[in-house]
Amino acid sequence: MNTFKVGLLLAGMTGLFLAVGYLVGGPGGMLIAFGVAIAMNAWAYWNSDKAVLRMYGAQPVDQNTAPDFHALVARLAQRAGLPMPAVYIIDSEQPNAFATGRDPEHAAVAASRGLLSMLNEREVAAVMAHELTHVKNRDTLVMTVTATIAGAIGMLANFAMFAGGHRDENRGGIGIIGSIMVMILAPLAATLVQLAISRSREYGADEGGAAISDDPMALASALEKIEHYAHQVPNYDAQANPATAHLFIINPLAGTGTDNLFATHPSTANRIARLRELAAGPGPSRDAVSYQATPRRAARIPDSAPPRPKGPWD
C-alpha cells in the first residue's frame, strides 16, 4: 500500500470521526470532535513511544549491558541508512519484537528475552531488520495515529445512542435506530481501515527487512518460529493492551493465523511464501547474511530483569 493510499485511508478515518461527532452533537459536536482529533494525534505523536515501552516494561540496553544485540542493531541501522535507534529488551518469554517512535530520529526497537533465546543470530538479525524497515517507512507513526483515531471513534460512538435519541426528540436527529447503527458501524469501519493499513505495512516491512539483512529465508524461519511459540507462550502485557498488538512482528495474542477480515497481521503462511519468492529471485546469494556475524553469546540483560533460559546465542 503506497503513501497516497495510506493518506486517503487516514483522511477517511478522520472524516469518519468528524461525521460521528456531527451525528452525536451536530455542528458543535463535529467541531469538538475535530479538536479532540488534533489533541489525541498530537499526544500520540509526542508520547506514544514512551507509553508503549512502559506498557511492556521494556528495559533500555546499550553496548555495556547487551553488547552483541546492541552491535547487531547498530550494524543493521547503518546498512539501512538510519540513525541508531534506542534499543530495548522486554521481559517476556514469548518471542516477539516491535518498533515505535514518531520518526527515525526518535525511534526505538524492542525484542523480547524469548526472541533472543529461541532464535539464532541470522533470524534475530532478520527480525530487527524488519523492525528497522518500519522505522524507515515511518510505519510506527502511521499505525499509532490510526490506532488513536480508531479508539476515539469507538469511544465517541458509544455516546451516539444517548445523544442520538435526545436529538430525535428535540431536533429531529438520527433517532434510536440511527444511533444504534452509528454505534455499531462506525467502530467497525474504523477497525477495518486500521487493520488494512497495519496488514499492508507488514508485507512492506518483510520485504524491506529481507533487503536490509539480505537473508529472506532467515526472516521466513523466524516468522515460523515466532508464530509457533506465540500461540503457546502467553504475553500477558499484550492481553492487557490488545490495541498495541498490531505493533509486533507477529500478533502476540492467541488466535488463528489466517488472513481473515479482523486479523491484525497478514497470514504468516502468506508472508513466508512471499519471502521464499524473494529468496528464489535473481540477485546475490541469500544463503548467508552479508553483515559481520556476531559472536554466539547471549544479549546480556540488565541485572534488574529475571534470568532467562539459555538459548542458541549462549
Categorise residue 253: left if φ over 0, alpha if ψ from -120 to 50, beta otherwise. Answer: beta
Q: Could you say which of 93, 121, 123, 131 is catalytic?
A: 131
Q: Which residues contact 198 (CB under 8 A, 6 or more apart)?
A: 143, 146, 246, 264, 265
Strands 97-101 and 59-61: unpaired
Please answer whether residues 217 and 28 qualify as being in contact, where contact means their C-beta atoms are separated by less than 8 angstroms: no
87: part of which helix (H) or strand (E)?
strand 86-90
Chain Cα centroid distance, residue 61: 21
Q: What is each CA distance from 6 to 12, 138, 293, in whole angstroms?
A: 10, 12, 36
Cell numbers for 97: 519484537
Does residue 131 carry a catalytic annotation? yes
One-letter amino acid of 31? L
Q: How far apart are CA 291 and CA 256, in angstroms?
A: 35
- Residues annotated as catalytic are 131
